[in-house]
Amino acid sequence: MTYCVAMNLADGLVFVSDSRTNAGVDHIATFRKLHVFGVPGERLIVLQSAGNLATSQSVISLLRHRLGGEGAHLHNVPTLFDAASLVGATLREVLERDSGPSLGQGVDLGCSFLLGGQIRGAAPGLFNLYPQGNFIEATRDTPYFQIGESKYGKPILDRALQHATPLEQALRCALISFDSTIRSNLSVGMPLDVLVYRADSLLIPEGYRVSEGDAYFESIRAFWGAGLRQLLGELPELPDQYWL
């Protein structure tokens, strides 16, 4: 499984992905699921993937291989909408290649992508691509998307995240969402890949890899766990009728 979150906020974009892949509980590996494309000063396009690893790797490889070529590619499409369309078309191309009648029997080849970034002249944007290659775009009402094992980490996002949330608070919120997921589900695991993009900077951030034992991540895990238990103790006292 996988867990990826992306946010499109007033101040910029936040991306966090885990890196665990598994085929059964006895075949676990680490693969990066956060991929960066871009031209400094002109565009940044970040892709995150969940689902069949052979499919998502093929899509990313084809997108990279075609950069600078004749046709449309992620460094020359004029808008983020065109970028999402291109990724969707590439996904359909891979699925068509790999799912002929003699192939892929009973194997789920599907995968999902989150695509976010900015192209000079337009605002930052964020898209959620379905396994069919079609997609939806994040809005002010729904400023974040998740793919993969999304349920454990959704409540904290629903409670604490809005379009106006500052980037620092949003990134902390994403990290807590990952901690909740990792604690409850073995198929989501460290290291995490983090990338924060300030709107209109048109920089290509390096991003940061949060490894097992990362001092900051460990400190917020401990702080958060203790804080929640304390908060629970401070909740108003239960009225008598709850005890009858």
Using CB under 8 A as the criterion, which residues of the chain lie in contact with its own copies when the complex forms? 151-156, 158-160, 168-169, 171-173, 176, 180-181, 183-184, 194, 196, 205-208, 216, 219-220, 223-225, 227-229, 231-239, 241-244
- Min separation Cβ 108 and its own copies, Å: 20
Q: Tell me, rounded to whole angstroms, the distance of Cα 195 from its chain centroid.
A: 10
Distance CA 107, CA 42 (A): 40
User: What is the C-alpha separation between 64 and 75, in angstroms, rounded?
Assistant: 10
**Cβ of residue 162: shortest distance to its own copies, in angstroms?**
10
The CB-of-81 to its own copies minimum distance in angstroms stands at 28
Instruction: Collapse the DSSP code of 181 into the 3-class scheme (helix H, G, I; strand E, B; otherwise coil) and give the result.
Output: helix
CA–CA–CA angle 76, 205, 30 (5° rounding): 95
Q: Among residues 29 and 226, whose Cβ is nearest to its own copies? A: 226
71 or 236, CB closer to its own copies?
A: 236
- Minimum Å gap between C-beta 154 and its own copies is 5
CB of 198 to its own copies, least distance (A): 9
Task: Give the DSSP per-residue string, 55-105.
Answer: HHHHHHHHHHHTTTSSS--TTT-SSHHHHHHHHHHHHHHHHHHH-STTS-T
Give the ranges where the chain is alpha helix by DSSP (H).
53-65, 80-98, 154-160, 167-184, 215-234
